[in-house]
């Protein structure tokens, strides 16, 4: 029924939730909008292999995080019923994030990120390396892309997204994981409100047609 899609083992999808919208509106509303997306995604997910979803909330201040978390979990229960154990939701906290559950299992993970998880994570890794240099555990010559990359993976176990689905009219990544998106395909969609299964599937088909030459 579904054509074979050339998808990587971990297909990450991300939503940018436009900050302005949420500051002005009743905090309850985000849950309803995310509900539709999760539902559409749920149907799609049954056809995909292992997958993970990141929800990126462009909110500077840490507002209502626990309410958002509660809301998402509640929606999960309502929508997914029996399947809800297949999904786990977590907030990425700024700083070290020790993963208990393996993301390599059939579980799908919803992660909620903010701009602090982007540049600020890189700055924190840089501070860590500088402290090591101060204590003479390392020299500046030891620092390269690999070292920095592995340090970033240690603190936040997020693989590089293959695909970013960007919702909303603002044509920007708005600080989303700058280090991780070097090869990520960025597909824009008009809005996350009333997003349909067909819209999502269409975006995934577009992704499948991308030809990554990786410099060659």
Using CB under 8 A as the binding rule, whether residue 183 contacts other proteins is answered as yes
Which residue, 134 or 198, is less far from other proteins as judged by CB?
134
115 lies in the site for other proteins, by CB under 8 A:
yes
CA dihedral of 42, 181, 55, 27, whole degrees rounded to 10? -150
Q: Does 120 bind other proteins (CB under 8 A)?
A: yes
Residues 53-82 close enough to bind other proteins by CB under 8 A: 58, 60
Residues 122-161 that bind other proteins (CB under 8 A): 122-123, 125-127, 129-131, 133-134, 138-141, 143-145, 147-149
**Interacting residue with other proteins among 25, 43, 193, 210 (CB under 8 A):** 210
Minimum CB separation from other proteins for residue 97, in Å? Answer: 19
Q: Which of 7, 10, 18, 157 binds other proteins (CB under 8 A)?
A: 18
Neighbour count for residue 150 (Cβ, 10 Å): 10
Q: Using the minimum distance from each CB to other proteins, give the nearer residue, 23 or 43.
A: 23
Size of the site for other proteins (CB under 8 A): 51
Binding site for other proteins (CB under 8 A): 18-20, 58, 60, 115, 118-120, 122-123, 125-127, 129-131, 133-134, 138-141, 143-145, 147-149, 169-176, 178-179, 181-187, 210, 212, 214-216
């Amino acid at each position: 029924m579904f054509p074979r899609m050339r998808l990587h083992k971990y297909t990450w999808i991300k939503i940018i939730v436009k900050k302005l919208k949420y500051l002005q509106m009743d905090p309850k509303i985000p849950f309803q909008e995310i509900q539709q997306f999760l539902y559409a995604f749920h149907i799609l997910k049954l056809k995909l292999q292992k997958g993970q979803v990141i929800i990126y909330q462009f909110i500077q201040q840490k507002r209502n995080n626990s309410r958002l978390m509660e809301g998402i979990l509640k929606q999960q229960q309502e929508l997914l019923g029996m399947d809800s154990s297949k999904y786990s939701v977590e907030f990425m906290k700024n700083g070290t994030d020790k993963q208990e559950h393996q993301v390599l299992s059939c579980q799908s993970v919803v992660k909620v990120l903010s701009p602090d998880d982007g540049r600020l994570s890189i700055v924190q890794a840089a501070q860590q390396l500088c402290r090591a240099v101060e204590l003479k555990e390392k020299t500046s010559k030891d620092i390269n892309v690999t070292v920095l990359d592995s340090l970033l993976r240690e603190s936040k176990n997020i693989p590089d997204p293959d695909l970013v689905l960007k919702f909303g009219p603002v044509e920007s990544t708005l600080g989303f994981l700058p280090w991780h998106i070097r090869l990520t395909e960025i597909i824009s969609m008009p809005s996350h409100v009333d997003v349909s299964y067909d819209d999502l599937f269409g975006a995934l088909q577009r992704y499948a047609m991308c030809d990554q030459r990786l410099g060659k």
